[in-house]
Structure 1
Amino acid sequence: MKREQTYIEGSNFYHSKGRVGRHFGSYWWQNVRGRGAAPSSLCAMRILDRYIFREILYPFLIALVALTFVAFLAFSREIGWLLELIVRQSATFRDIWAISIAYIPNVLTFTIPMAVLVGILTGFGRMSSDSEAIAFRATGISMVRLLAPVLSLGILAFVANLAMTVWIAPQTAARLRDVRYEFLARQVSLEVKPRVFNESLTNFVLYVQNIAREGFNWQGILWADMSQPDEIRVTFARSGAVTKDEEHRTFALTLTDGSTHVVSPRSPHRYSYDTFDTTTLSVPMPQAPTKQDKIVISEMPTAALWNAMKAGTATYEERVEFHRRFALPFACLIFTLAGLPLGVSTTRGSKSMGLVLSLILMLLYYLVFVGGTRIASNAQFSPFLGAWLPNLAFAALGTLLIARSNREHDNRLLNSLASIMRWFSEKRAEARTTRKRLRQWTYSLTHHPKFFRLLDAYVLRGFWFFFTLVLVAFVALFILVTLFELLPDIVKNKVESATVITYFVYLLPQILYYVIPLTVLLAILIDLGTLTKTNEILAVKAGAVSLYRMAMPLLLMGLLLSAGIYFLQDFMLPYANQLQDEYHDIIKGRAPQTYRDPQRKWMAGSGERIYHYNYFDPDQDVFGGISIFGFKPNSFELTEWMFATRATWDGAMWKFEDGWTRRIGTGGSVDYQPFTSLEVRELDRPDYFKKEVRTAAQMTYPELKRYVTSLKQSGFDVSGLMVDLYRKLSFPLVSFIMAIIGIPFSFTTGKKGAFYGIGLCLAVGIFYWSMFEFFDKLGGINRLSPFVAAWFPNLIFGFGGIWMMLRVKT
């Protein structure tokens, strides 16, 4: 029998049948069936272990950074609040670190297992595409032997994740409430928005007309006390300042130049009126924690959960939380068993399969995990099985695949997936050949008669493949992060699955708005980086085709996606955000906040008026229990208070029934006039009360522009709104600028490896996003002009990308 040999020479694997792979060490060995032993097989296997460990470590680290960054986008509100603290110089570096470290462990608890799976499948997918899996089998290396370096990474990730879930995450979550209070005490104005009625305070309503740039001085203040059912106490003041009350853990609101008015709805003739130069009110901030607050389950120490389970006093929610903290870290080990046989394949061209399988397995695992936890919360399923079911299922799958691989069976799961993808490609090609070709509509730079030629289609096919893959991965991760954040509330409030699904349907446009720009950058880097690595870019240049011409379809796709983001921002987000906020309140166990004025109770009128009512029927145009406050525009001094039990609209005027009017004179005199019927023409029409009250994110560009113009004419500070207005034009262009940046990066880093390019991509994307948000906050407090704050990051990165593109050797 002819002796077969496998050895290494230079930088290549060699077998008796020819070159089969790349070099992973400087040692050679022969097949055990031939004569002659390896000079140092133990040393060679150690080198092999280090080589495999390094090949899966790099994609693991890059995936961990990417997944963690995208996961942090789910906490965009908290990050925005944190950046505002920084730009207002209300927090030191130590303070910022204290808040950041409180969020990181909760995110890492499930991004670490994801990164382990991505690292294994991507690393071995690369080795399989270069035929190194053939070299492993040819040298007699079993699948169990390959498991050693993979398991090393899994054990390290398991230990780190276990520390996060069992010890670090509960402690940091408990500490976060106290840290947030400390910052809230320093910067209370961050939670109070101008010209918005804050009705979240129990039995109190706070309204501020304007807030100074430094944030602590307020102008035009209304404070309504509804705590007593038999009286209404309303205070108007010209200005006020906020200070901290350490003893009661509240905020003291010191008012200047104001008056307090008290009236009884049942006895309108009873009325008291006091003026003051200075007075102090206690404001109970809703987010300020107290010692009496009940600790949530996610903040309970693991030892306390264990003691409650031993004593038999643990609730279902506590038992589910206990098993969840241990089951999730074990996913790092389970993914090594399932990922290794799926990643090792002798099929060439399976390099992209690692990403596809990573996405599929991650979705399956976490969906089963959440589903089991949800079922267990209804007391219909064992909490142990609810948390450990996905681990048991994936462990069985991994063991089966490893056993079949050792018997040298083909990987049927990978082959089936590849067959499905080939089938779709064939059907798409058949449909393309039968479709009528489009007429010529423009000429390319090389003056060929069709713009989208074969080269353009080839480049765009790779771009859209990676774009779709990365986008689905990012969207799935965003949803998973949000789902895990809301899982305690879903379990506690027994929220229906239909409500949760509906919430994520309306949240999807916002997710796409966040992740599409970074997805464009990643897709271009992977697509062109792969073409550079395989020397296809060199072949294009050899065919006398400029790289600028080759990159043109990618630039057009970036511009097209920018237009799509603007469409998404102006025609979908304003309405989807309102609905997802309502469902978010339902999941949190709060009454859903409505944006229709008929249910808002308080409303600022078009003139110097403020309305308060108990009921409004928008169909019949009827008010019930309406009060109208008139005040002076400069001093915010109350001049008139009108009340009526009922008000109707007859098409031309308002008709008030059974009420009274009190007019406050300059000398403190009060003119009281009761009435049974009164007609008034100068008030706002019914349509004014039917319009929606929305934030800048819930308005289209024309609506926000009209709103800013109206406030500016009234003399209000609109710096923050101007930044939001300019940002509605600047942010959609981020996708196009990402394309400009990604193209030169791909051409210059392709030979250094795809992971090097992706790493640079993440660094650029994270820095770009951080810079965009940071300048947004600077513009909001007038440290920069609104135009500069909204457009400066785009200009810097745009011109930087153009400069890099001009330096590319075409």
Structure 2
Amino acid sequence: MNRKQIPWRLFYSTFKEALPLTLIAFVILTMLVFVQQVGKYSSIILSFQATSQVTMKFLMSLLPGIVIITLPVSLLLGTVIACSRLATDGELTAAQSLGISKLHLALPFIFTGLLGTLVTFYLSAEVAPRSLKELKSLRARILLQEANNVIRPRMFVTTFPNVLLHVQDIDAKTGEWVGVFILQQEPGKGVSRLLTAERGQLRITPSPQMALEAQLYSGLSLENRSVDKSGKPGTGIFEEAGVTDRAVSDFQKLSIKLTEKAAQDEDERGDAPAGMTEMTISEVARSAAKAPDNKDRIKAMVEWHKRIAFPFACLTLTCLTFIMALRGRRFTTRPRTVIAILFIAMGFYLVLVSGQNIALSGKVPPWLGVWLSNILLGLYIVKSFSTNRSLTSLPVISTITALLSEAGDRIADAWRGLVKSLTVKDENTRATSTVRFSIINLINYLIVSEVAKFYLLALLALVVTTVIFTLFDLIPAMARTGTSIAYAASYLAYLSPQLAYHVTPFAFLVAILMGCSVLTRTNQLVIIYGAGQSKYRLLGVISLTALSLSGALWLLSDVMLPHTNREQDIRYSRIKSRQLEQTTIAFGRKWVFGRNNNIYSYQRIEPDNTLINTSMYHLSPSRWVLEKSSFFARASQISENSWQTSGGWTDTIRPDLTINRVPINAGQNNVLITDGAGLFKRTINESSKMSTGELADYIEQLGAIGIPTTELKIDLSKRLAFPFSCLTLALIALPFATGKRAMRSGPLLSVAIGVGLSLIFWLLMTLFEAAGKQSSLSVGLSVWGPQVMFVALGLYLNFKLKN
């Protein structure tokens, strides 16, 4: 064979080996993030108002933005696995013995990185901006059509600007509101309008522009006009002392316009120039040329350079991975190398984000800030190829690798010692024993250690990919609010446990498939079967491991996640410049719904339960229209359910639609509040921020006052059902990892089929949960339905297929 043809034959062979592995990693990562996004937008995707064509467009619009993030990480993982497999078979050792240089060995990976760079550049420059624009347009359209889902009985709605909406109940058959309370303000005009109606509904007006309107039937309107001391229009709130005009009227039918502010993305509203993320690269260049000031020009230039620099992460990370994996004349296959590579990749993206923020501040030129991470790692890569030194020879990297190696060796030695002490028995005892079984023995150690290794690697890869995706989602908000990288990193650190919790079942499935693939490839699984061990031995070990992992997940969700979720929510609200609301806040007041058809708004409650600037609206129990309203500047608690008021008045609406106002004198009027002071201290909590006991108590409290708790009950049931997914997916994975057909066709087909079934399981969980929250399914069926179906399927496959 011609010696010059050897590198090209090696190029083709290595490329053919690396490409399928990269594609498998790409499909797994992309589908995982895609399923997470589907869950995030489940209420939109499952909208009854959206046609199948619109829903498909919405789903397809999600993919380009996801692929831009997952493709570089997939190339990284594909390179690592390919190097590991080629080193195990000794192919690269043979190539080096023929005198083939390191650069020729790296050519297949460089070519793969270039292909990824071209694909990512095209997506980033042309496809992703258009998809994002289409996504926002479809999202706004579906949200307008599905706004009724936001409105729930006995819940205050502040989705619509300058409007507070409360509905007593919703007719399950017609969808009509029963008992409507709407407070509307017109900023700058000093006008506020209180509308109470017996019935109502939400309607969509298609022309001249799609919008929402609330149509009310059989109600009462109380309009208020106010001026301040200087004669200018006041705020229009009903508690103002400067009210100059107050009018009451009844109506049989009334329509008011609503515009949903949630249909506009917050980052889009805050960015300048608006919509730059929706521009193609040529449009961004024209925007930079026509920028009215230097600040807008810098933003446009940073965006333009980012569209080009970001795709080069595919090439940079691929070359970096090859150099990290290559040590002298042999490839390392140890997990510490993969962990070090993933951490360096995370550092690469952090430097990219930091450089972008520095460039936006004007401290460095846009090209330097955006290209900084590529320049730094590019110099190291060129130096490594030219000097035959790898990045692992650098002091920092070698120190990290050494520490990881030492820790791994200590854990392995401790585990081997434990196994030896539990499995070695006296010779006479072994001779007389008829049945020997130990949970910790060499076979179990072999299986569990192999699965655990791949589980940790898969978990780290999935979490890092999601963190990178989240980080780039935060960039516009960080630039707008001036958030530091350190603060964003603290948010991502508190977010990571939640991400690990959600991806653990999927990572465990991938670990089983890859671990059994390695055991099959090295004939260890064949030897185990040849020694008389049944496939049920393997099933039992994996099942016990899955149950242990499920228990750990349950403890994580009950002990750690409530704290970390509260902390990450605080940081996320600060990064996004949002107000962290624990109660419903509107028009500078907190709003609560109490018993006896009373709605309260108050400014604050003192430690001694004294209410400050409080209003009380009493609605008729039959028609749900306003009968009486009271305002008191101060109310001191004198008993458990009684307050003594001062500084206010009470307005009573007479049958002839006139208002009778009675002043409240200090110490002469008492107000009975049946709910007690706890009504004003009640917080609106998310289930993810509470332990199991706290969530159960919260559901009981809300149920006592008639607030729907279906979603919270589903979340409570998921506390046990979701960790159980580890066992469900393990039962699904084993037949494809150990069956005869899997051994004949190779591991890639088994991995693809197993991952495909797991994604179907994930989508079914999302669909069942959404149906349960819409009361189409019972709580138990919506949570446990997919689990029971796939456990039955897994047991059938395990007992039906031959090993």
TM-score, structure 2 as length reference: 0.86
Per the alignment, residue 9 of structure 1 pairs with none
CA contact (8 A) 1:262 1:273 kept: yes
Per the alignment, residue 240 of structure 1 pairs with 200
Distance 2:756 2:614 in 1: 56
Distance 1:469 1:484 in 2: 23
- The one-letter amino acid paired with 1:784 is L
Per the alignment, residue 747 of structure 1 pairs with 738
Q: Determine whether 1:144 maps to 2:103.
A: yes
Q: CA RMSD in A?
A: 3.5
**Which deviates more, 502-511 or 213-222?**
213-222
Distance 2:636 2:705 in 1: 29
Q: What does the per-residue CA deviation read over 1:127-171, in whole Å, with 9 as the maximum and x for residues that have no partner?
A: 012110012123333333334433332232222111111112222
CA contact (8 A) 2:643 2:672 kept: yes
Q: What does the per-residue CA deviation read over 1:638-664, in whole Å, with 9 as the maximum and x for residues that have no partner?
A: 233121111122344211112222344
1:497–1:351 CA distance, 2 compared to 1 (3 A) = closer
Q: How does 1:364-375 map to 2 (within 5 A)?
A: 364-375=347-358
- The one-letter amino acid paired with 1:120 is T
Q: How does 1:73-222 map to 2 (within 5 A)?
A: 75=37, 78-85=40-47, 88=48, 90-213=49-172, 217-222=176-181
Distance 1:366 1:100 in 2: 26
CA contact (8 A) 1:213 1:782 kept: no
Give the C-alpha shift of residue 359 in structure 1.
1.7
Q: Determine whether 1:789 maps to 2:782.
A: yes
- The one-letter amino acid paired with 1:610 is I
Distance 1:125 1:117 in 2: 13
Per the alignment, residue 717 of structure 2 pairs with 726
Paired residue for 1:283, among 247, 258, 273?
258
Distance 1:172 1:696 in 2: 33
Q: What does the per-residue CA deviation read over 1:643-692, in whole Å, with 9 as the maximum and x for residues that have no partner?
A: 11111223442111122223446675755432213112443322231122
1:416–1:508 CA distance, 2 compared to 1 (3 A) = closer
Paired residue for 1:692, among 683, 691, 696?
683
SS of 1:452's equivalent in the other structure is coil
Give the C-alpha shift of residue 83 in structure 1.
3.1
- Tell me how many residue pairs correspond in the alignment: 761
Give the C-alpha shift of residue 113 in structure 1.
1.7
**Which deviates more, 221-230 or 799-808?**
221-230
Q: Determine whether 1:318 maps to 2:304.
A: no
Per the alignment, residue 388 of structure 1 pairs with 371
Q: Determine whether 1:520 maps to 2:508.
A: yes
Distance 1:379 1:168 in 2: 29
Per the alignment, residue 773 of structure 2 pairs with 780
Per the alignment, residue 382 of structure 2 pairs with 399
Give the C-alpha shift of residue 470 in structure 1.
1.6
Q: Determine whether 1:49 maps to 2:4.
A: no
**Which deviates more, 671-680 or 698-707?**
698-707
Q: Determine whether 1:531 maps to 2:519.
A: yes
Distance 2:80 2:414 in 1: 32
- The one-letter amino acid paired with 1:241 is Q
Per the alignment, residue 426 of structure 1 pairs with 409
Per the alignment, residue 676 of structure 1 pairs with 665
Q: Determine whether 1:254 maps to 2:184.
A: no
1:508–1:151 CA distance, 2 compared to 1 (3 A) = closer
**Which deviates more, 186-195 or 344-353?**
344-353
CA contact (8 A) 2:285 2:300 kept: no
**Which deviates more, 321-330 or 145-154?**
145-154
SS of 1:784's equivalent in the other structure is coil
Per the alignment, residue 32 of structure 1 pairs with none
Distance 1:79 1:300 in 2: 23
1:667–1:747 CA distance, 2 compared to 1 (3 A) = farther
**Which deviates more, 226-235 or 252-261?**
226-235
1:220–1:750 CA distance, 2 compared to 1 (3 A) = farther
Give the C-alpha shift of residue 720 in structure 1.
4.6
SS of 1:123's equivalent in the other structure is helix
Give the C-alpha shift of residue 374 in structure 1.
2.6
Give the C-alpha shift of residue 461 in structure 1.
2.3
Distance 2:486 2:251 in 1: 54
**Which deviates more, 526-535 or 263-272?**
263-272
Distance 1:415 1:267 in 2: 74
SS of 1:350's equivalent in the other structure is coil
Per the alignment, residue 23 of structure 1 pairs with none
SS of 1:107's equivalent in the other structure is helix
Per the alignment, residue 623 of structure 1 pairs with 611
CA contact (8 A) 1:489 1:588 kept: yes
Q: What does the per-residue CA deviation read over 1:59-84, in whole Å, with 9 as the maximum and x for residues that have no partner?
A: 11111122223333553664323332
CA contact (8 A) 1:117 1:339 kept: yes
Distance 1:507 1:99 in 2: 27
Give the C-alpha shift of residue 730 in structure 1.
2.1
CA contact (8 A) 2:592 2:679 kept: no
1:797–1:365 CA distance, 2 compared to 1 (3 A) = same
Distance 1:645 1:739 in 2: 62
Per the alignment, residue 299 of structure 1 pairs with 278
CA contact (8 A) 2:360 2:479 kept: yes
1:423–1:510 CA distance, 2 compared to 1 (3 A) = closer
Q: How does 1:353-752 map to 2 (within 5 A)?
A: 355-356=338-339, 358-405=341-388, 412=393, 420-429=403-412, 431=414, 447-448=435-436, 450-574=438-562, 576-595=564-583, 601-613=590-602, 615-633=603-621, 635-652=623-640, 653-664=642-653, 671-677=660-666, 678-702=669-693, 704-705=695-696, 719-748=710-739, 749-750=742-743, 752=745
Distance 1:600 1:472 in 2: 45
SS of 2:364's equivalent in the other structure is coil
CA contact (8 A) 2:44 2:139 kept: no
Q: What does the per-residue CA deviation read over 1:407-428, in whole Å, with 9 as the maximum and x for residues that have no partner?
A: 9x99757998776554334333
Distance 2:652 2:420 in 1: 77
Per the alignment, residue 64 of structure 1 pairs with 26
Distance 1:207 1:94 in 2: 34
TM-score, structure 1 as length reference: 0.85
Q: What does the per-residue CA deviation read over 1:573-626, in whole Å, with 9 as the maximum and x for residues that have no partner?
A: 44544443343232223333335989861111144211112x213423222221
SS of 1:755's equivalent in the other structure is helix
Identity %: 24
- The one-letter amino acid paired with 1:131 is G
Per the alignment, residue 429 of structure 2 pairs with none
Q: Determine whether 1:339 maps to 2:339.
A: no
Distance 1:172 1:348 in 2: 41
Distance 2:284 2:345 in 1: 28
CA contact (8 A) 1:631 1:640 kept: yes
1:795–1:434 CA distance, 2 compared to 1 (3 A) = closer
SS of 1:783's equivalent in the other structure is coil
Unpaired runs of 5+ residues, structure 1, are: 1-28, 30-36
Per the alignment, residue 14 of structure 1 pairs with none
Unpaired runs of 5+ residues, structure 2, are: 225-237, 424-432
1:177–1:634 CA distance, 2 compared to 1 (3 A) = farther
Distance 1:436 1:519 in 2: 26
Per the alignment, residue 759 of structure 2 pairs with 766
SS of 1:75's equivalent in the other structure is helix
Distance 2:437 2:471 in 1: 51
SS of 2:775's equivalent in the other structure is coil
- The one-letter amino acid paired with 1:736 is L
Distance 1:309 1:670 in 2: 60
CA contact (8 A) 2:154 2:707 kept: no
Give the C-alpha shift of residue 797 in structure 1.
0.8
Give the C-alpha shift of residue 348 in structure 1.
6.8
